[in-house]
A and B are shown apart, each in its own frame.
Chain A
């Protein structure tokens, strides 16, 4: 299991940031991702493997137009 913004979510072998974003349908573009308090830069979303038990924060940076 991992937590995503505080909610428990299934972990799977080889889970990357990109895969997690797709699985959660997080399609908004202005986001920042932290895994265990470390920032993951966008170019590494497809390769960064999220470890089991990780705390993931996916912050959507907008408060409306």
Chain B
């Protein structure tokens, strides 16, 4: 890489971390294409810790203060805020390298938070910051360097010729490292060339794999964070931190953390091969399981099971993944789910013939860029995974969006003329790979529209190609502007809520209730479902406040967890929950019980909901479940499991004799749509929201987030006719 010209630099006095917090955040302002760079070290108040805890909570608070009600994703005042949390950087317990990025999203037009594992967040904290805000738009492509060794921030004019993730990350690790060994002290955040035109571009977070002597990438892929980064003219954000101790967080009680760590490391060692096989396969072990339960998305979620799925079993991936190498993405994570394929020779695209290391694929990618687009070929999926990461494309939105595109093509809603010559039938490997390359390049108007996500593309197709908008809406697995992740949810009513009654759209990080609901039948009533859709989103959000990965919570469990506990209690994995509560106290010195944990989350959950209201969304009309999410849309879906679906219709007391399949499809959709509306009200009621999905004044007051601007905003939107009656019970069975 050619030498980069230093544009500006700023020195700071590092704050020492104490009990998990440095109590300072970093502000980097890029001006408004005017070279007016600015920097600041901001204090973290007691109130901020009390109300927002850390991580995503800090991100939301800082973003709230930074933007106006009218701010759009591409305005200079939009920020990317990156933060870990009090657990971040702990090396004695697995899963503590997560960082959470918060921004206004080009895709969803509201707040988004996306996370990635790796070294960046711990290094940021060790450099003296609980969070960093990146605001403004630079007048030229820049590289921002946080030098945590010398306590200074530098902004360079980028000389990168190839801005794609693997290329630029490798160059910057080499550029800022003194020697080979020093490369591990660096982490790079970048996107890729897709971010120029696509709204589904994510951020890649690098770490240096000393065993392979290569850069590895983890993705905060969802929501378009990479698009925002590119729009700010930031080619890369680089951090360096060489020295740190095993107690950099200066915790209150290291011994408690050590003991909990020893216990879970032993469990991972003894049990993982019999449970989730994270160390040998990673999350791709889910492929065959999802197929067995009719949950694997096949042909744009039309089907959930296929005999062809045998070709993408985890055994097939295991053969390709390099084994026997530590794959933890941060020190101390023995779950080591970050699989890699070494010596992979690319078959397509500009790097055809080149040997590369590919990270993943994880389950979501294996399913989205696999059966969902009709491809049952692990090598093709691995190659698509490589290019998606390299170009900065979010593999989930890309997979779900392409699946929808293939169905549109097969239904004749778009044709070869529209696609500029590509046959986008399901399973057409060559043309689909070419489509991915074109989306990354923004090669033509069709590719650019596809890169902006399903919600944008369907409006574009309707306007420019005359495609039927209603059909495209029925089959598009998208809500609030975000494409769904890779689980077929239509047979689990609770998971309708887990996808479509969420803060940011159908990403399963709020709740994954399919087994509890559809298989175990532990949530029979709306009241049960509403309780789960209150509890789990808050329980799971807590991880995002702390800088934690969720996998060590329940992808490894005590061997007797399922027999010692039942129902909701078993689902919490009480022993691991206890570890987290104990460790929180051991880090911060503050006592915490389960109720306190949920309360921490509720504050942020409701604040985020209010934030989305502020940005023009955050009401009931954006909680829309597409037809494909609720059940079959076309007769061929019904006929894949005729007895099953006939049975479902009979449960409503329908005499199906003599009915056509088309009529059955329509009737089941009608009944399920009514169930969906009932579920929605039950969930809103349980969350302390009104019938329009807005937190009530009583709710924000109870949570202590009744700041004057929050209250003023709510008063503008809360209507008497939307209030639940005190005696009203919306949670009917």
Same complex origin of A and B: yes
* Chain A interfacial positions (CB closer than 8 Å to B): 5-7, 25-32, 39, 57-65
CA of A28 to CA of B288, assembled, Å: 9
Give the residue of A28, A32, A61, A65 whose beta carbon is less than 8 angstroms from that of B289: A28
Contact yes or no, B283 A65, CB < 8 A:
yes
Contact yes or no, B274 A25, CB < 8 A:
no
Contact yes or no, A63 B288, CB < 8 A:
no
Contact yes or no, A31 B562, CB < 8 A:
yes
Q: Which of A6, A27, A29, A63 gathers the greatest number of chain B CB atoms within 10 Å?
A: A63
Q: Which 5 A-B pairs have the closest CB atoms?
A: A64-B512, A32-B562, A60-B515, A61-B562, A25-B292
> Which residues from chain A contact B293 at a C-beta distance below 8 Å?
25, 28
CB distance from B645 to the nearest CB of A (A): 15
Give the residue of B275, B520, B524, B536 whose beta carbon is less than 8 angstroms from that of A60: B520
Q: A27-B292, A28-B515, A32-B563 are in contact. Are A65 and B536 (CB under 8 A)?
A: no
> Counting CB contacts under 8 A, is B420 at the interface?
no
> Which residues from chain A contact B571 at a C-beta distance below 8 Å?
61-63
Contact yes or no, A62 B554, CB < 8 A:
yes
> Which residues from chain B contact A39 at a C-beta distance below 8 Å?
563
CA of A35 to CA of B274, assembled, Å: 23
> Counting CB contacts under 8 A, is B71 at the interface?
no
> Counting CB contacts under 8 A, is B48 at the interface?
no
CB distance from A29 to the nearest CB of B (A): 6
> Which residues from chain A contact B292 at a C-beta distance below 8 Å?
25-28
> Which residues from chain A contact B521 at a C-beta distance below 8 Å?
5-7
> Which residues from chain B contact A6 at a C-beta distance below 8 Å?
521, 524
Q: A27-B288, A32-B563 are in contact. Are A63 and B536 (CB under 8 A)?
A: yes
Main secondary structure of the interface of A (DSSP, over half): loop
Interface string of B258-286 (1 = CB under 8 A from A): 00000000000000001110000001000
Contacts across chains A and B counted by CB atoms under 8 Å: 73
Tell me the chain B residues, 519-563 only, with Cβ under 8 Å from chain A.
519-522, 524, 536, 550-551, 554-555, 557, 561-563
Give the residue of B511, B516, B554 whose beta carbon is less than 8 angstroms from that of A65: B554
CA of A22 to CA of B536, assembled, Å: 30
CB distance from B721 to the nearest CB of A (A): 36
> Counting CB contacts under 8 A, is B566 at the interface?
yes
> Which residues from chain A contact B566 at a C-beta distance below 8 Å?
59
Contact yes or no, B570 A59, CB < 8 A:
yes
CA of A64 to CA of B516, assembled, Å: 10
Contact yes or no, B515 A62, CB < 8 A:
yes
Chain B interface category by residue count = 20 to 34
CA of A39 to CA of B519, assembled, Å: 18
Q: Which of B276, B511, B516, B563 gathers the greatest number of chain A CB atoms within 10 Å?
A: B563
Contact yes or no, B561 A61, CB < 8 A:
yes
What are 5 A-to-B residue pairs whose CB atoms are below 8 Å? A6-B524, A28-B292, A28-B293, A28-B515, A62-B554
Q: Which of A25, A28, A58, A62 gathers the greatest number of chain B CB atoms within 10 Å?
A: A62
> Which residues from chain A contact B557 at a C-beta distance below 8 Å?
30, 61-62
Extra inter-chain contacts (6) besides given A62-B571, A63-B511, A64-B508, CB under 8 Å: A30-B276, A32-B563, A58-B519, A59-B566, A61-B570, A64-B554
Q: Which of A7, A26, A59 gathers the greatest number of chain B CB atoms within 10 Å?
A: A59
Contact yes or no, B511 A64, CB < 8 A:
yes
CB distance from B488 to the nearest CB of A (A): 14
> Counting CB contacts under 8 A, is B413 at the interface?
no
> Counting CB contacts under 8 A, is B513 at the interface?
yes
Interface string of B290-309 (1 = CB under 8 A from A): 00110000000000000000
CA of A16 to CA of B267, assembled, Å: 30
> Which residues from chain A contact B275 at a C-beta distance below 8 Å?
29-30
CA of A28 to CA of B274, assembled, Å: 11
CA of A26 to CA of B293, assembled, Å: 7
CA of A62 to CA of B516, assembled, Å: 8
Contact yes or no, A65 B551, CB < 8 A:
yes
Give the residue of B276, B520, B570 whose beta carbon is less than 8 angstroms from that of A29: B276
CA of A7 to CA of B519, assembled, Å: 10
Nearest-neighbor residue (CB-CB) of A39 within chain B: B563
CB distance from A42 to the nearest CB of B (A): 9
> Which residues from chain A contact B563 at a C-beta distance below 8 Å?
32, 39
CB distance from A57 to the nearest CB of B (A): 8
Nearest-neighbor residue (CB-CB) of B509 within chain A: A64
> Which residues from chain B contact A64 at a C-beta distance below 8 Å?
508, 511-514, 554
> Which residues from chain B contact A26 at a C-beta distance below 8 Å?
292, 519
> Which residues from chain A contact B536 at a C-beta distance below 8 Å?
63
Interface string of B489-529 (1 = CB under 8 A from A): 00000000000000000001001111110011110100000
Give the residue of B276, B289, B555, B562 whose beta carbon is less than 8 angstroms from that of A27: B289
> Which residues from chain A contact B289 at a C-beta distance below 8 Å?
27-28
Tell me the chain B residues, 407-464 only, with Cβ under 8 Å from chain A.
none
CA of A58 to CA of B511, assembled, Å: 21
CB distance from A35 to the nearest CB of B (A): 13
CA of A39 to CA of B566, assembled, Å: 12
Give the residue of B276, B520, B554, B561 whose beta carbon is less than 8 angstroms from that of A5: B520
Contact yes or no, B519 A5, CB < 8 A:
yes
> Which residues from chain B contact A28 at a C-beta distance below 8 Å?
289, 292-293, 515
> Which residues from chain A contact B512 at a C-beta distance below 8 Å?
62-65
> Which residues from chain A contact B513 at a C-beta distance below 8 Å?
63-64
Contact yes or no, A29 B516, CB < 8 A:
no
CA of A58 to CA of B521, assembled, Å: 10
> Which residues from chain A contact B283 at a C-beta distance below 8 Å?
65
> Which residues from chain B contact A5 at a C-beta distance below 8 Å?
519-521
CA of A57 to CA of B562, assembled, Å: 12
CA of A6 to CA of B524, assembled, Å: 10
> Which residues from chain A contact B508 at a C-beta distance below 8 Å?
64
Q: Which of A6, A25, A65 gathers the greatest number of chain B CB atoms within 10 Å?
A: A65
CA of A30 to CA of B555, assembled, Å: 9
> Which residues from chain A contact B519 at a C-beta distance below 8 Å?
5, 26, 58, 60
CA of A7 to CA of B491, assembled, Å: 15
CA of A9 to CA of B453, assembled, Å: 43
Q: A63-B513, A65-B283 are in contact. Are A29 and B554 (CB under 8 A)?
A: no
CA of A64 to CA of B275, assembled, Å: 14
CB distance from B274 to the nearest CB of A (A): 7
CA of A64 to CA of B570, assembled, Å: 13
Q: Which of A28, A29, A64 gathers the greatest number of chain B CB atoms within 10 Å?
A: A64
CA of A18 to CA of B172, assembled, Å: 54
CA of A65 to CA of B363, assembled, Å: 11
CA of A29 to CA of B536, assembled, Å: 22
> Which residues from chain A contact B515 at a C-beta distance below 8 Å?
28, 60, 62-63
CA of A62 to CA of B513, assembled, Å: 9
CB distance from B156 to the nearest CB of A (A): 38
